[in-house]
Amino acid sequence: MSLTIALPKGRLFEESVELLLKRGIISKPIKEGRKLLIECHPFKFLLVKPADVPVYVENGVADLGIAGYDVLLEREPNLYTLLDLGIGFCRIVVAGREESKERYFKETYIKVATKYPRIAQSFFSKMGIKSKILYLSGSVELAPTIGLADYILDIVQTGRTLKENNLVIIEEVAQSTARLVCNKASYRNKHKQVLEFFNKLK
């Protein structure tokens, strides 16, 4: 029985392929192009949007997948997380303009722009802060500058995007790395293959 694996296109793709090569799971590189289903015996790789990896795995069209912890926190999919792969490190933070930094800790109601509405909702409700969450699918750092929101909740890696938009980190929400995730039925039905894959990657 072969395994189908959902790989995130974009930022995590190269690091994921490098890891698979380094651990001897594949013997030649997979290229990110327009071909979205790549057969590489005994594996089939699906090249998908990073945020969609859990959808493929949860629904069983992929047995395994590589997904950022940020995506797993946001989607809370019904699957197993088998391994922290230690790649794709970034931080999920609340950021804002320097002059809002002090005010933030006294706020009782804030407007927050984010690509992660569920993480934001749950974070601010735990902090006891009432929030209006504005969902954006990108360029989130623009929001405080133009007055769409007071703060943002987003990912920071190098800090360059924040800096170039005159924003500073106010608070860290979580740290994120990529994880190996597994469909629950595949974990039972293809246990031997899944375990073999897991042992090579670990």
Ligand X SMILES: O=P(O)(O)OC[C@H]1O[C@H](OP(=O)(O)OP(=O)(O)O)[C@H](O)[C@@H]1O
With CB under 5 to 8 Å by kind, the binding choice for 160 among ligand X, ligand ATP, none is: ligand X
Decide if residue 157 touches ligand X (CB under 6 A): yes
For ligand X, the closer of residues 100 and 161 by Cβ is: 161
With CB under 5 to 8 Å by kind, the binding choice for 159 among ligand X, ligand ATP, none is: ligand X
Cβ atoms of 73 and 119 within 8 Å: the answer is: yes
Rule CB under 6 A: which of 40-69 touch ligand ATP?
Answer: 49-51, 68
For ligand X, the closer of residues 114 and 183 by Cβ is: 114
Nearest 5°: the CA angle 186, 179, 170 is 145
For ligand X, the closer of residues 167 and 181 by Cβ is: 167
How far is Cα of residue 118 from the mean position of the Cα atoms in its chain?
13
Q: From CA 144, how far away is CA 195, in angstroms rounded?
A: 46
Shortest spacing between CB 116 and ligand ATP, in angstroms: 10
Q: Which of 47, 90, 133, 173 binds ligand ATP (CB under 6 A)?
A: 90
DSSP-assigned beta bridge partners for residue 92:
155, 174
Q: Which residue has the tokens 């090249």?
A: 47
SS3 annotation, 150-163: CEEEEEECCCHHHH
- Residue with the closest Cβ to ligand X? 138
Rule CB under 6 A: which of 115-144 touch ligand ATP?
Answer: none
Shortest spacing between CB 160 and ligand X, in angstroms: 4
Q: From CA 84, how far away is CA 62, in angstroms rounded?
A: 19
| Edge-first strand listing for the sheet containing 90-97 | 130-135, 109-114, 151-156, 90-97, 167-176
Q: Which of 144, 154, 186, 190 binds ligand X (CB under 6 A)?
A: 154
Task: Put residue 63 in one of left, alpha, beta given phi > 0 → left and psi -120 to 50 → alpha.
Answer: alpha
Decide if residue 155 touches ligand ATP (CB under 6 A): yes
Decide if residue 147 touches ligand X (CB under 6 A): no
Neighbours of 107 (CB within 10 A): 16
Binding site for ligand ATP (CB under 6 A): 8, 10-12, 49-51, 68, 70-71, 88, 90, 155, 157, 176
Binding site for ligand X (CB under 6 A): 138-141, 154-161
